[in-house]
């Protein structure tokens, strides 16, 4: 736990979603839209495993970033939603098993060793990692160029 009392931490709007077996949080300001995961996909045979396809949304080809594959998370259940994110001049569609909603929560510092973590938020069932979307997108793009 953080030494900073919860009432002293700044709150921010976060989209809570399930990836793998756990709940994660995304800064709501980087979320463009949440879609049903039933859009037609175009597979990209030469793309890395974490970018298996693109979807067309309103005339834009959005790469699907399989964050579960990228972060080596266990795949749990049907991923019924696509979260369209924009950061660092890139847009991607991130499949999610479940969207829990947007909440205003205080973020505490991330524990050492957590990859792509802006911080942690405390939920009733435990802590959720706030993902650093720009860092995640840069790393996914860099891994794809190898």
Q: How does pLDDT run across 82-116, given as a tens digit for each residue?
A: 999 998 788 999 999 999 999 999 999 998 888 89
Angle at 107 between CA 126 and CA 26, to 5 degrees: 80
Q: Are 9 and 106 in contact (CB under 8 A)?
A: yes
The whole-angstrom separation of Cα 20 and Cα 67 is 9
Quick check: helix, strand or coil at residue 9? Answer: coil
Domains of the chain in sequence order? 8-145 (2.40.50.180)
Least confident range of 2-16, 27-41, 105-119, 126-140: 2-16
Model pTM? 0.86
């Amino acid at each position: 736990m953080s030494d900073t009392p919860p009432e002293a931490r700044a709150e921010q709007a976060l989209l809570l979603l399930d990836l793998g077996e756990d709940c994660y949080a995304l800064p709501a300001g980087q979320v463009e839209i949440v879609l049903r995961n039933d859009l037609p996909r175009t597979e990209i045979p030469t793309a890395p495993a974490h970018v298996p396809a693109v979807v067309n949304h309103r005339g834009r080809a959005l790469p699907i970033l399989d964050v579960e594959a990228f972060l080596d998370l266990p795949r749990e259940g049907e991923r019924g939603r696509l979260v369209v994110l924009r950061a660092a001049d890139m847009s991607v569609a991130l499949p999610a098993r479940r969207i829990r909603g947007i909440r205003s929560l205080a973020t505490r510092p991330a524990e050492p060793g957590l990859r792509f973590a802006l911080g942690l938020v405390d939920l009733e069932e435990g802590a959720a990692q706030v993902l650093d979307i720009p860092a995640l997108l840069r790393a996914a793009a860099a891994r794809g160029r190898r």
